[in-house]
Structure 1
Amino acid sequence: MIKTMIQQVKKHPGLIPQFVFTTLGITGAILYLIRLSRGPHVTLWNKTKNPEPWNGLDPTYQYKFVAIDTDYKNLKKEGPDF
């Protein structure tokens, strides 16, 4: 596979930035997943050893909630006019 890439780069040198940025993107994604798997919240993933993970969190833990505040009374119409 690497021989094929080298042959393609020799024929088309414009592919060098594509290979560089693709490699950087894949490396960044792998490093992010490694960092995510070693974080302090990993105990929340293990359901066999800790079936109630919310009991281990202290009251100052910052929870991540999604709050969508949509007031349906203020919507002007139900759908688009055709």
Structure 2
Amino acid sequence: MPLFKKRTVGKPGEWFYCLEHQKVEEGPECPAKDRFGPYTSRTEAEHAMATARERNLQWENDPKWHDAPEGGSEDGPEGGREG
């Protein structure tokens, strides 16, 4: 008996965004590698790319995930001094 059953049809109310076709799907139509979701509404799935951009931006600017800025201080490699 397989540990996981392959689900070919999604549950009613599950929405996905297909990255390959750039469209919203009810239920998983495309392979998991090509989609975001599940979302609880069609509207959430329609905004999947905007949500991903916002989350990426938050992650990129989260100080917990970054060490010191590249090149030394914020003023540049020379610390803002003129030589």
With the length of structure 2 as denominator, give the TM-score of the two structures.
0.32
**What's the TM-score, normalizing by structure 1?**
0.32
Q: Which has the higher strand share?
A: 2
| More contact order relative to length (CA 8 Å, sep ≥ 6) | 2
Q: Which has a greater percent of helix? A: 1
